[in-house]
Chain A
């Protein structure tokens, strides 16, 4: 029985899990989807209604029927021969996605962490917020719009402030520079000049007057809640903006949060996620912001000692026993 890990080659958390599984004598086959088709060969045949065959590199192979767990840890895109034309590359990409991905999707009795389609569904932040609320987690008023008038109306009803935050990945490259659009509070000047709101969807959300924030990392049935406290103005607005101004503490998950998080994971069909919360200064209540089904965790493990790598190894190895 084997754990298949699909991850990029330079990924420290994956290395740590591979090392832990190897130490436990659990068979591991690690590959990156960018190796397909040139360095990763799929040979799958439908026999008796089941897909059999192998997935192989020049160094090792795995029987498809022996795969019991797949850790889908943000692998890179398929990489095709440079000689392909754009049309050929587009065709090749579709065929690879549907063929390579399709065979893996058809393997029975496999634990996915996470299944890429479940993870893709879970990327929709409006769905995250509605699901979290339905699962008993607290959320704050949120607006998604391309209407400047709607932004004015929404901000006028929330005197404590409103932030805008990206609905998806928020980094771009312009003029050779790497840029990140962090969460930011609307100012009065912004409301007077809402050019660009009509260009696409925008997410605005009531500002949470928070004392700290928390990232809750869920690995199967295990849950690790790390309190993140910011000590700079930039980090208080968005802790991703100033990592040097953060302190971390592993804490117990409040029971009502734990129950809501478990319901959330079940509703979205996820085995792993990192959920971010703000913790209200006055009440101590956890306010759900968002979840990341490929959310990072190793820096939290390093800072707090939370045994997340071991929990992932437990989860993946458990499917093989």
Chain B
């Protein structure tokens, strides 16, 4: 059954352009489905820690993320990747503000 119009599962089933939207609307369900029909590729999915994004605000003047004092995070955060996460698993670690504070 097709998804509702406008949903990530709507028309144009063979277009990868639609997938670019679903990347930003990750699927979520309350429980695992029956083993008989669970896609094989998900059988061994591993539970990962949910990444924590540092609290920030966006500075429209500088057009970058800033801390509470208005300083750009790229000036106050080290590019250490200890806290990097990989929630999309396919693109390398995410590079939001998960860097270690210096």
Contacts and interface: CB of A to CB of B under 8 A. Distances in A.
Interface stretch (A277-285, A293-301, A313-321): A293-301
13 contacts: A9-B56, A10-B96, A28-B63, A87-B5, A171-B89, A180-B48, A182-B89, A196-B35, A196-B38, A240-B90, A292-B90, A299-B84, A302-B79
A123 B19 CA distance: 9
A171 B91 CA distance: 11
**B interface: dominant SS:** loop
A119 interface: yes
B40 to A, nearest CB: 4
Interface stretch (A11-19, A43-51, A129-137): A11-19
Contact of B29 (A57, A174, A200): A174
Interface stretch (A90-98, A105-113, A249-257): A90-98
Interface string A1-38: 00001001111111110110010000010100000000
B74 A30 contact: no
Interface stretch (A152-160, A161-169, A258-266): A161-169
Contact of B90 (A30, A90, A168): A168
Please classify how large the interface on chain B is, using the bins under 10, 10 to 19, 20 to 34, 35 or more: 35 or more
Which of the listed residues B37, B42, B47 has the most CB atoms from chain A within 10 Å of its own CB? B42
Contact of A296 (B32, B94, B97): B94
B1 interface: no
Given A123-B19, A175-B32, A243-B81, A182 B73 contact: no
Contacts of B17: 116-117, 120
B60 A59 contact: yes
Given A10-B97, A181-B89, 18 more contacts: A9-B65, A12-B97, A14-B64, A15-B72, A59-B61, A170-B88, A179-B47, A180-B45, A180-B89, A182-B46, A195-B37, A196-B37, A196-B38, A196-B39, A240-B92, A296-B93, A297-B92, A300-B92
A168 B17 CA distance: 12
Contacts of B84: 243, 299
B1 to A, nearest CB: 15
* A contact patch SS: mixed
B102 to A, nearest CB: 13
Interface of A: 5, 8-16, 18-19, 22, 28, 30, 57-60, 74, 76-77, 86-87, 89-91, 93-94, 116-117, 119-121, 123-124, 164-166, 168-175, 177-182, 184, 194-197, 199-200, 202, 215, 240-241, 243-244, 274, 292, 294-303
Contacts of A121: 16
A199 B37 contact: yes
Contacts of B24: 74, 76-77
A123 B20 contact: yes
A163 B92 CA distance: 19
Given A12-B73, A172-B42, A173-B27, A178 B91 contact: no
A180 B27 CA distance: 12
Contacts of A16: 74
Contact of A12 (B25, B41, B96): B96
Given A19-B72, A296-B91, A172 B45 contact: yes
A177 B48 CA distance: 8
A121 B61 CA distance: 35
7 closest Cβ contacts across the A-B interface? Answer: A90-B6, A296-B92, A302-B79, A59-B60, A120-B17, A196-B40, A173-B28
Contact of A15 (B20, B44, B45, B65): B65
A175 B95 contact: no
Contacts of B95: 11-13, 296, 298-299
A46 to B, nearest CB: 24
Given A121-B16, A179-B48, A171 B88 contact: yes
